[in-house]
Copies of this chain bind each other. A is one copy, B any other.
Amino acid sequence: MENHIKMIGIIGGTGSLGSGLAQRWLVAGHTIFVGSRTREKACTVVDEIRAKSGITNITGVTNIEAATRGEIIVLTVPFGAHQTTLEEIYEHVQGKIVLDTTVPLKPPRVARVSLPERGSAAAMTQDYLGEHVSVVSALHTVSAAHLINLDHKLNGHVLICGNRKASRQIIADLIEDLGLKGWHAGSIENSAASEALTSTMIFINKFYQFKGAGIQIISEEY
């Protein structure tokens, strides 16, 4: 599994989702670049993670530097910052795999599905970044609060969408490193299902007073 170890650049890595991913992947042995709009903010978060984990294989950088130094680039920015972030990283992610976790929420009605005209945020990402970038989408239904709590045993399943099977598999392995089970879920168009599920999970959390509703895939053979 030596080859499995990756250099991961997390764009918007100081938020709770990005920071949770950073910590769990760091513990799993990957090299992490936490990107933020300012290097200072990224370094503050990284210092905390280093102190907490005792692992130093993590660096605070700008978003552009994270996009440049990572071999796998992970987008964890709010939908409002999605397009400008894509423009910022465009030239630095060519030839790479971009894992897009963006959910097109429309505040304040976040419990109501509101997919973009294009069908999904991830399809927009693939369209914009072009054919030399392999966009994979995943993690929309995973609670950031659970992710950031390393003592929390995750039991959710993750739908992994993307047009290339090999790229989906690389992301599936990274998702397993988080303690989650990933499923090949089809082309990037299918990201609509996973992105729409986020608002549905927010509704379920509110309606049933749950904390981090998620999904599991079941089947006859599973």
Restricting to A45-91, which residues have a CB under 8 Å from any CB of B? none
A119: interface (CB < 8 Å) = yes
Q: Is B219 touching A210 in the complex (CB atoms < 8 A)?
A: yes
* Identical copies of this chain, number: 2
CA distance A211 to B219 in the complex (A): 7
A92: interface (CB < 8 Å) = no
Stretch at the interface among A1-9, A19-27, A193-201: A193-201
Q: Is B200 touching A221 in the complex (CB atoms < 8 A)?
A: no
Q: A183-B204, A184-B207 are in contact. Are A113 and B189 (CB under 8 A)?
A: yes
Restricting to A119-153, which residues have a CB under 8 Å from any CB of B? 119-120
Which residue from chain B places its CB closest to the CB of A111 in the assembled complex? B186
A94: interface (CB < 8 Å) = no
Q: Is B216 touching A221 in the complex (CB atoms < 8 A)?
A: no
Q: Is B213 touching A215 in the complex (CB atoms < 8 A)?
A: no
Size category, A interface:
35 or more
Partner of A190, one of B113, B213, B219: B113
Q: Is B190 touching A193 in the complex (CB atoms < 8 A)?
A: no
Q: Is A192 touching B192 in the complex (CB atoms < 8 A)?
A: yes
- Shortest distance between the CB of A140 and any CB in chain B (Å): 10
A217: interface (CB < 8 Å) = yes
Between A119, A156, A190, A221, the greatest number of chain B beta carbons within 10 A of the residue's beta carbon is seen for A190
- What are 25 A-B interface contacts by the 8 Å CB criterion? A111-B186, A112-B187, A112-B190, A113-B191, A113-B192, A115-B115, A115-B192, A184-B204, A184-B207, A184-B208, A186-B199, A186-B200, A186-B207, A190-B196, A190-B200, A192-B192, A208-B219, A210-B219, A211-B220, A211-B221, A212-B219, A212-B220, A214-B218, A215-B216, A216-B216
- Known: A114-B119, A193-B199, A205-B219; 10 extra A-B contacts, CB below 8 A, are A113-B120, A113-B189, A117-B117, A186-B204, A190-B199, A190-B203, A193-B200, A194-B200, A204-B219, A213-B218
Q: Interface residues, chain A, CB within 8 Å of chain B?
A: 111-115, 117, 119-120, 155-156, 159, 183-187, 189-194, 196-197, 199-200, 203-205, 207-222
